[in-house]
A and B are shown apart, each in its own frame.
Chain A
Amino acid sequence: MSRSSFSSYRPPRLSLERRLTTPWWLSWVIPILSVALAMLVGAVIIASQGVNPWEAYRAMFEGAFGSGYGISETLVKAIPLMLAGLGVSVAFRMKLWNIGAEGQLWMGAWAAAGVGLFLYPAWNLPPWLAIFLMMLAAIVAGGLWGAIPGLLKGVLQVNEIITSLMLNYVAISWVLYFVDILWRDPGGLGFPNTAPLDKAIWLPKLTWIPLLPRGHRVHAGLLLAILAAVLLWFLLNRTKWGYEVRVIGENPDAARHAGMPIVRNIVLVMMLSGALAGLAGMAEMAGVAHRLQRGLSPNYGYTAILVAWLAKLNPFGVLLVAVLFGGLLVAGDQIQLTMNLPRSISDILQGLILFFVLGGEVFSRYRIRIR
């Protein structure tokens, strides 16, 4: 039995105390400070590579946002992040942890490629109809791929994190089987990709955007993403179904007591989530790569999880954060070329930003007290 506990000396202690309300300015200050702290830690890592962090950050910013070309490339990378991020965010709204955006994206790209490479020439479709059918095929394929973990979760209570994640490997292997063997371009000099799509059914470039350089790669997928964000916002906030999704996400027990169809909505939300990720795959395939190939997605589906989370699941927030992360991807390429830094610096920064922003959340819900 220790006697020290009865002494009257008490060391000062830190304690977290729940806030009843969060001041409006805090919800802005905290994420900004969190990103700043992440960059500070990132600076240490960059410095450890023998590079001046200030120079590196400036090069990164200039690479991503400092020129018309940089901005256009940032937007190109942001498009799949936007669409997949929207998909992830709608599932997260209902506390369905869909980690399978990557696989859903690949399935979407695969289905769209099938339509573009085979159906379009075989049926002699008009190009606009072919593009429309490619979108539809991507939505269906991604949606069905998302529906699998949805059904398992809804009907058998199988953890969707694990199933959706495992299905990524299945999807990617499935698509690569087609890329490498079944649909491989015979005239492709042995490269692992399909033949290119006919130029007529590429997603059109947004040539009318001012200030971007000639020959930029920004395509109509950007409009699709913005349209999807608006529709998603409307769906969640203005419709009965969106209300159900938000209620189930907030409190499934209360939703059950209100007679809301939970199993059906789990499946529907996972389908919608997968469909948006599938659309991201189609946009990348038909707008950028113009064929199905290895390395089509540099883990867009996983980065989309960060995007959705940092945007606090707000559809318009997803658009903005996707641009930020698109910029980070471009900047990673940039500093690899100019500063002789490894490309993975941008991955490290992504991780750090997520880490600090999630950690910072605590301070919007709690205050620190020293006693």
Chain B
Amino acid sequence: MGLVFVWRSSPFLVSCLPNPYQPQIDTHSLLNGTRMNAPSLQPSQIAVEMRDIVKRFPGVVANDHVTFLARRGEIHALLGENGAGKSTLMNILSGLYTPEEGKILINGREVIFHSPKDAIEAGVGMVHQHFRLVPTLTVVENVVLGLDDPKFRLNLENAKAQIRALSEQYGLKIDPDAFIWQLSVGEQQRVEIIKALYRGAQILILDEPTAVLTPQETEELFKTLRSMAEKGHTLIFISHKLDEVMAIADRVTVLRQGRVVATVNIEEVTKEKLAEMMVGRPVIFRIDKPTIVPGKEVLRVENLHVRNDKGLPALNGISFIVREHEIVGIAGVSGNGQAELAEALYGLRPIEEGRLYLYGREITHASTRDIIREGVAQIPEDRHKEGSLGNMSLSENLIMKNYRRKPVARGPLIDWHYVRQFARDLVKRFNIMAPSIQTKARLLSGGNLQKLILARELSSDPGLIIAMHPTQGLDVGATEAVRKQLIEERNKGAGILLISEDLDEVMQLSDRILVIYEGEIMGEVPADKADRNEIGLMMAGQRLSANHEQHTVNSVQ
């Protein structure tokens, strides 16, 4: 039979035996932070105790004897790079995964969760990064969805009253009768929080909750979280953003490569120190970007109107230009027309009104094929869905954009001999870690896959690069590499349109920043004069004041 039976020793057995490879962990030092000699805590103050958790996935140990403790009434940040094991650990705590080894204690009592339902019964709720809401139902319907109490009868009035009480108590403003599709992302997040509270969650896990919020919405969320902590809830806050962790957390546990680096009190660390713990080496926060006077105009967008997939207006008359040696950043909360803009510029979405020019030549209705030939490169939003061919080899992935032209093509044929050489060169030049050029793309890590896409897109020396979320989901090392690569292309003369939801990234890389809201540009600011607060207001739909507007108009003409 072609089956492989992999026996795992029962977690029950293992937890009874002393583990010779793991040093005994001192509960008190973890509880109080490794560097602090505060009086020890009573065990009754511990809300969550996860001890020696081991979870393996094919090829990786996602959690390698992780011990994690959270007190009642604290905001505890779980910090780590992508793949450090934060989400795995919290998916275990919320009952989505079962660990292979280790045990979980909630309020001092050992529990075993087979499903999220078990976790909810024990008072653990989770707000996922991607919301689990039904858009066509109302807030109250979503909140009671899946509950069977009282049996068979639906008592929405009662539920509404409870939702109102919760929203009052924690400052979570929401209309119970609103439909989910009518709500902003920030409001939808509130529904998720209320959903968890309604189910009696005392311990609330939030997976990167700020990723989808404007700076102002983030402030609102933080206020709510603080008031919840004051009322005795335990909040576990998953993040890889250091500034946020410094701003909100009482204590922080840092994970790296599936292991706990340390648990510390927030007053005792600096951002730099946390970054070092997270990455394992000192991190430079600023990238050197020489000042270069922008050159000729590369891309001109005039009064662009585009519809989204539902046929509703997505872009309502956007105008801007991108010049040589220039990175133009588009900041904005996701879903305000960024994806449609990238698609329209790449010939993937019909243009209703307005014009596009590349080097002064009109490309408004040009095909994607022509746009590629004119030297426009694209780093797509979704590396897997739009950017790569999972079951095909690296070399087949690398020729996707130039297979029509010499020297890859010879007449109607593809010169695979040349392709192999071409692929080997790129793998070396862009430092793609892979066993061979025959390796399938789906086996690459996120960082290596992005390098593959960069290699393909930049190998043709593009004049314009449309980069959408170029570092989303990448670890610190890969993020640095990608950003350096983009700045290098800018220094060499390319014009870059950087579309990103990561405001820090936009502010760090861009020469000019445009803020998009509901398909319109709210204003433009030069990056060196950019103010987070001001940009945040524009992301929420407030137009830049008049004198700034003047500046925008001038720079377009």
> B389 contacts which of A10, A247, A261 (Cβ < 8 Å)?
A247
Q: What's the count of A-B pairs with C-beta under 8 Å?
A: 118
Specify which chain A residues have a CB less than 8 angstroms from the CB of B164 in the assembled complex.
none
A7 at the interface (CB under 8 A from B): yes
Specify which chain B residues have a CB less than 8 angstroms from the CB of A369 in the assembled complex.
5-6, 8
Chain A interface: which of B106-114, B239-247, B287-295?
B106-114
> Contact at B6–A367, with CB atoms within 8 Å?
yes
A58 at the interface (CB under 8 A from B): no
> Contact at B58–A250, with CB atoms within 8 Å?
no
> Contact at A10–B409, with CB atoms within 8 Å?
no
**A8-B112 in contact given A243-B403, A251-B389 (Cβ < 8 Å):** yes
Considering only CB atoms, which chain B residue lies closest to A261 in the complex? B369
Chain A interface: which of B320-328, B380-388, B535-543?
B380-388
> B392 contacts which of A19, A247, A360 (Cβ < 8 Å)?
A247
| Docked complex: B358-403 residues within 8 A CB-CB of A | 367-372, 378, 380, 382, 385-392, 396, 399-401, 403
Considering only CB atoms, which chain A residue lies closest to B391 in the complex? A250
**A257-B414 in contact given A360-B2, A367-B6 (Cβ < 8 Å):** no
A363 at the interface (CB under 8 A from B): yes
Shortest distance between the CB of A4 and any CB in chain B (Å): 10
> Contact at B389–A254, with CB atoms within 8 Å?
yes
Contact mask for chain A residues 1-34; partner B; CB cutoff 8 A; 1 contact, 0 none: 1000111101000000111110000100110010
Specify which chain A residues have a CB less than 8 angstroms from the CB of B114 in the assembled complex.
5, 10
What's the Cα separation between A29 and B111 when bound, in Å? 43
| Docked complex: A244-259 residues within 8 A CB-CB of B | 246-247, 250-251, 253-254, 256-259
> Contact at B5–A251, with CB atoms within 8 Å?
no
What's the Cα separation between A5 and B1 when bound, in Å? 35
B517 at the interface (CB under 8 A from A): no
Considering only CB atoms, which chain A residue lies closest to B7 in the complex? A370
**A257-B6 in contact given A5-B113, A21-B443, A243-B414 (Cβ < 8 Å):** no
Chain B interface: which of A62-70, A163-171, A175-183, A234-242?
A234-242
> B58 contacts which of A20, A239, A246, A258 (Cβ < 8 Å)?
A20
> Contact at A8–B110, with CB atoms within 8 Å?
yes
| Docked complex: B96-130 residues within 8 A CB-CB of A | 98, 100, 109-114, 117-118, 121-122
**A30-B2 in contact given A254-B385, A254-B388 (Cβ < 8 Å):** yes
What's the Cα separation between A269 and B241 when bound, in Å? 49
> Contact at A368–B5, with CB atoms within 8 Å?
yes
What's the Cα separation between A172 and B122 when bound, in Å? 64
What's the Cα separation between A5 and B119 when bound, in Å? 10
Considering only CB atoms, which chain B residue lies closest to A367 in the complex? B4
Specify which chain A residues have a CB less than 8 angstroms from the CB of B392 in the assembled complex.
246-247, 250
Shortest distance between the CB of A313 and any CB in chain B (Å): 12
> Contact at A250–B380, with CB atoms within 8 Å?
no
Interface residues on A, range: 35 or more
> Contact at B3–A10, with CB atoms within 8 Å?
no
> Contact at B378–A29, with CB atoms within 8 Å?
no
Specify which chain B residues have a CB less than 8 angstroms from the CB of A253 in the assembled complex.
382, 385-386
Interface size (B, Cβ < 8 Å)? 55
> Contact at B348–A256, with CB atoms within 8 Å?
yes
**Among A19, A21, A257, A363, which residue has the most Cβ atoms of chain B within 10 A?**
A257
| Docked complex: B295-335 residues within 8 A CB-CB of A | none
Specify which chain B residues have a CB less than 8 angstroms from the CB of A247 in the assembled complex.
389, 392, 396, 400
A364 at the interface (CB under 8 A from B): yes
Contact mask for chain B residues 388-428; partner A; CB cutoff 8 A; 1 contact, 0 none: 11111000100111011000010011101000000000000
Specify which chain B residues have a CB less than 8 angstroms from the CB of A26 in the assembled complex.
2
What's the Cα separation between A33 and B2 when bound, in Å? 8
> Contact at A6–B409, with CB atoms within 8 Å?
no
B181 at the interface (CB under 8 A from A): no
**A240-B412 in contact given A6-B112, A250-B390, A256-B348 (Cβ < 8 Å):** yes
**A257-B386 in contact given A1-B121, A5-B112, A6-B111 (Cβ < 8 Å):** yes
Contact mask for chain A residues 334-346; partner B; CB cutoff 8 A; 1 contact, 0 none: 0000000000000
A214 at the interface (CB under 8 A from B): no
Considering only CB atoms, which chain A residue lies closest to B121 in the complex? A1
Considering only CB atoms, which chain B residue lies closest to A37 in the complex? B1
> A258 contacts which of B2, B111, B122, B372 (Cβ < 8 Å)?
B372
**Among A5, A19, A261, which residue has the most Cβ atoms of chain B within 10 A?**
A5
What's the Cα separation between A257 and B346 when bound, in Å? 8
Shortest distance between the CB of A357 and any CB in chain B (Å): 12
Specify which chain B residues have a CB less than 8 angstroms from the CB of A259 in the assembled complex.
347, 367-372
What's the Cα separation between A20 and B412 when bound, in Å? 35
Shortest distance between the CB of A37 and any CB in chain B (Å): 9
> B3 contacts which of A8, A21, A246, A363 (Cβ < 8 Å)?
A363
Specify which chain B residues have a CB less than 8 angstroms from the CB of A364 in the assembled complex.
2
> Contact at A257–B368, with CB atoms within 8 Å?
yes
> Contact at A29–B347, with CB atoms within 8 Å?
no
> Contact at A368–B403, with CB atoms within 8 Å?
no
What's the Cα separation between A251 and B412 when bound, in Å? 22
**Among B98, B371, B372, B392, which residue has the most Cβ atoms of chain A within 10 A?**
B392
A-B contact pairs, 23 of them (CB 8 A): A1-B121, A5-B113, A7-B112, A10-B98, A20-B58, A33-B1, A33-B2, A238-B416, A240-B412, A246-B396, A247-B392, A251-B388, A253-B385, A254-B386, A256-B368, A257-B368, A259-B372, A360-B2, A364-B2, A368-B4, A368-B5, A369-B5, A369-B6
For the complex with contacts A5-B121, A240-B403, A368-B4, 11 further pairs of A-B residues with Cβ separation under 8 Å are: A20-B58, A240-B413, A243-B396, A251-B388, A254-B386, A257-B378, A257-B387, A259-B370, A369-B6, A370-B8, A371-B98
What is A's interface to B at a CB cutoff of 8 Å? Answer: 1, 5-8, 10, 17-21, 26, 29-30, 33, 238-241, 243, 246-247, 250-251, 253-254, 256-261, 360, 363-364, 367-371
Please list the 7 inter-chain residue pairs (A to B) with the smallest Cβ-Cβ separation, ordered nearest first.
A259-B369, A259-B368, A30-B2, A258-B400, A363-B2, A5-B118, A367-B4
